[in-house]
Structure 1
């Protein structure tokens, strides 16, 4: 056990101090966005909006995310990642605090759009910063550390948010969200001042290739949209499946998702460290990750047994652990030939667009054709994504020859 513990710690060796600080800032930022999981409850219970209203508000949420990611990439290439991250965190904090005072439907649509527009400019800038503060050989593991921070933030945030709602009400969430974003700015200024921080891999391209002309990247973009579309079903339609078909309680559903978070926390870094030392390409590993996610839906159709839910969650978790870090590392590497912010923006946009269509489409499919037929369609879409990644491998092979 002691040897396993030290081997686990060994997988974190070599990462720069700045990457650790960036992970902590990301953890504070993600744990702080605790309004989001409770947004539908707040809108229906406190503001009395209908489900149709909530649907439109979530659409504004998604559109803001897409435009924010695009804007963040443009600004990062023009004024640099440090300024974009600082301004984004500060304004997001102020907007979160202000959002609690908005009570009309149109006002909230505009408010949540602005929050996400500003908040998601942070993501492309953060990934460019991550690339700058990582040695080339450590980039995939650096991305994995950021993912651990995001997962811890998403785990801790809702738990703390529930306590805040119980003790001081929903308005407390907006204050805590806003204050944590502002605290993240203070920490950023203290520890990642560009005059003091060590830049390990600064990329300056004299004649950058436009992302719009990069054929391989757009095949990758489509595959990531499909992966995001499929993956998001676990956070919208799948909980309904657990409740309505298997009659699981909220506590049991929480345990299943808790298993996902624990496995990622315990095993993702060692797994990525091992896979990095194999001969497999990033595109091949992404394909394996999406294939495992597809199988997690396929096995649900094959039989009715409680253990299948655990097996499906394990397959999805392993697929997620492989696909996300290597897809991020792929786009960081690809971005060296063009404008880094622009590339990272479109990587984020692939998942933002999946958010716009994934949740709503999944719900509509379940409502009209049932769970099993929905899982069949989701599996089919997954295999389309696998084919896209196979095509990407062929294109990359031609580029090298």
Structure 2
């Protein structure tokens, strides 16, 4: 956001691939592969009614997250805010994850995944509504931080559940399936919000975000640890 304000979006788009290459190179030089063995377990071991339900919950969380990061800057632009403001807001939204994901990890060791994910998604939906309605900069930061905090609590609990329900030698495959479902549902969020905005208004379309979070919260109540 800061670079876009100073030099324009074209400069940001040119710099981004360079950053990606540098990060990839740094990862290649600094990370050592661990040994692994080929899995003989069948893929069907990963699937069950409960696991599929958690996949859908992860998908609704991804829909909410992807829809927010895609369309909320358009909403802010209509309110007259510049890219620098959205960049700082996104830093707050993601930055509180430092605390949220740690809290989610600690709670996952003490409380059932079902309670953590369900309550966190419900609170995410609760704080998204005033975030989408307010035009005050301070309130946008405030509700943006709360929304990001509770959404970030969701991730450790879901990932811990994935690790628990998949055989040890199939963790990577299990994560791949979960992330594929999340990517598919997250990608559909942009289409759904965009099409709804075309028919009605962007403000109405953005209400899909708390609805998807609330659906995830309700579905998670049916998951057993």
Corresponding residue to 1:35 among 68, 82, 85 = 68
8 Å CA contact 1:31, 1:156 repeated in 2: yes
Q: 2:139 aligned with 1:107, yes or no?
A: yes
Q: 2:168 aligned with 1:126, yes or no?
A: no
Q: 2:210 aligned with 1:175, yes or no?
A: no
Cα distance change, pair 11–171 in 1 and its aligned pair in 2 (3 A): farther
Structure-1-length-normalised TM-score? 0.43
Task: Answer with 1 or 2: which has the greater Rg.
Answer: 1
Q: 2:184 aligned with 1:155, yes or no?
A: no
Matched residue SS, 1:79:
coil
Stretches of structure 1 that go unaligned for 5 or more consecutive residues are 1-9, 195-401
Stretches of structure 2 that go unaligned for 5 or more consecutive residues are 1-40
Matched residue SS, 1:13:
helix
Describe the superposition over 1:59-108 as per-residue Cα deviations: whole angstroms up to 9, x where unpaired. Answer: 21121222221221122223232221111111111122222222111111
- Separation of aligned partners in 2, 1:44 and 1:123: 29
8 Å CA contact 2:100, 2:150 repeated in 1: yes
Q: 2:54 aligned with 1:19, yes or no?
A: no
- Separation of aligned partners in 1, 2:149 and 2:122: 13
Structure-2-length-normalised TM-score? 0.74
Cα distance change, pair 76–173 in 1 and its aligned pair in 2 (3 A): farther
Q: How does 1:327-346 map to 2 (within 5 A)?
A: none
8 Å CA contact 1:91, 1:118 repeated in 2: yes
8 Å CA contact 1:97, 1:175 repeated in 2: yes
- Separation of aligned partners in 1, 2:196 and 2:145: 24
Larger RCO (alpha carbons 8 Å, 6+ apart): 2
Aligned to 1:94: 126
Aligned residues: 183
Q: 2:80 aligned with 1:44, yes or no?
A: no
Matched residue SS, 1:126:
helix
- Separation of aligned partners in 2, 1:28 and 1:170: 20
Q: 2:219 aligned with 1:187, yes or no?
A: yes
Aligned to 2:197: 165
